[in-house]
Homo-oligomer: A and B are copies of this chain.
């Protein structure tokens, strides 16, 4: 039995794998290049399994730690093995030429579009406002990172919130999957600020937080 499958071994995939291991969850790492998945699995310690994209996703939760474009492709390809699973989309569908708009239309979101590609899975938007560096650390300014969670399934939101809490982070459930629109939209602004030389202290290592 595997708790969590992470697809992708980039900065975000690695950071999420580290958090999942910290949470004591059993892990499967998948990547287009199986050697990269094996390498990350090896770093995480014994018991972490790995493979390429021909392997079925085994985790109850499947985190697609990919950019929006590759996420579309991989979800379409793995659709069969996603049935009944909770799939987390972390993507930010930013127009990276301008950092001024999204590549999805108003009135939808990357998460909602991805969900259409695998209707037998339960989609959750989460981790799109956490940068890899701070996520890997797990905290910012001595406080647990905030992880915003949107899904039409209350059960899936709770399942992801439990994982987030176990990983030492603070889950904030914001409602239905359509709220991915606001999560992706705001992160566009946060990312544009990182890319803006006027904000020198922002270098892709900030944390969006609701201070209380």
Q: Which residues of A contact B (CB under 8 A)?
A: 100, 106-107, 140-141, 143, 148, 172-176, 179, 181-183, 185-186, 188-190, 192-193, 198-199, 201-202, 205-212
- The residues of B that contact A181 with a CB separation of less than 8 Å are 106, 185
- The residues of B that contact A192 with a CB separation of less than 8 Å are 174-175
14 of the cross-chain contacts (CB-CB < 8 Å) are: A100-B176, A106-B106, A106-B107, A140-B211, A143-B211, A172-B199, A174-B189, A182-B182, A182-B188, A190-B210, A206-B212, A207-B210, A208-B209, A208-B211
Partner pick for A182 among B140, B172, B189, CB 8 A cutoff: B189
CA distance A76 to B141 in the complex (A): 45
- The residues of B that contact A100 with a CB separation of less than 8 Å are 175-176
- The residues of B that contact A183 with a CB separation of less than 8 Å are 186, 189
